[in-house]
Amino acid sequence: MTIRDRIAVLIRLTTIGLLLTITTTLAWAQDDGPGYVNFRIQTLKPGKAAEWEKLRKEQSEGHREAGRAFYHVYQRRRGPADTFLIVWPAGPIGETEAPIAEQADSTVAESWYNAIGATLDSQLVLTLQTYPKLSTLQDGPVHPSEKFLHVRIRTAAAGRSDDFHKWLRDDLIPDLRKADVGDVRVARVVLGGSPRTWVTASFVPGWPEPQADVDQRMLAKGDALAATRTDYFYEFREDLSFSND
Amino acid 155: pLDDT: 98
Phi first, then psi, for residue 206 (nearest 5°) are 170, -170
Q: Is residue 82 within a helix (H) or strand (E), and if so which, with residue range?
A: none
This prediction's pTM: 0.80
In 45-147, beta strands by DSSP E = 70-76, 83-89, 120-135
- Determine the average pLDDT of the residues in 6-19: 37
CA angle 60-238-116, nearest 5°? 40
Q: pLDDT tens across 208-231, in order?
A: 888 888 999 999 999 999 999 999
pLDDT at 80: 80
Q: What are the beta bridge partners of residue 72?
A: 87
Beta-strand pair 197-204/83-89? unpaired
Q: Which helix (H) or strand (E) holds 52?
A: helix 49-65
Q: Is the pLDDT of residue 10 over 70?
A: no
- 181 in helix, strand or coil? coil
pLDDT, residue 98, reads 37
- Asked whether the beta carbons of 78 and 206 are under 8 A apart, the reply is no
Cβ-Cβ contacts under 8 Å for 7 (sequence gap 6 or more) = 58, 59, 62, 108, 109, 112
pLDDT per residue as tens digits for the range 23-70 = 333 344 444 456 899 999 999 999 999 999 999 999 898 888 888 899
**Residue 136 and residue 140: Cα distance in Å, rounded?**
8
Q: What domains are defined for the chain?
A: 3-125 (3.30.70.100), 130-236 (3.30.70.100)
Q: 28: helix, coil or strand?
A: coil
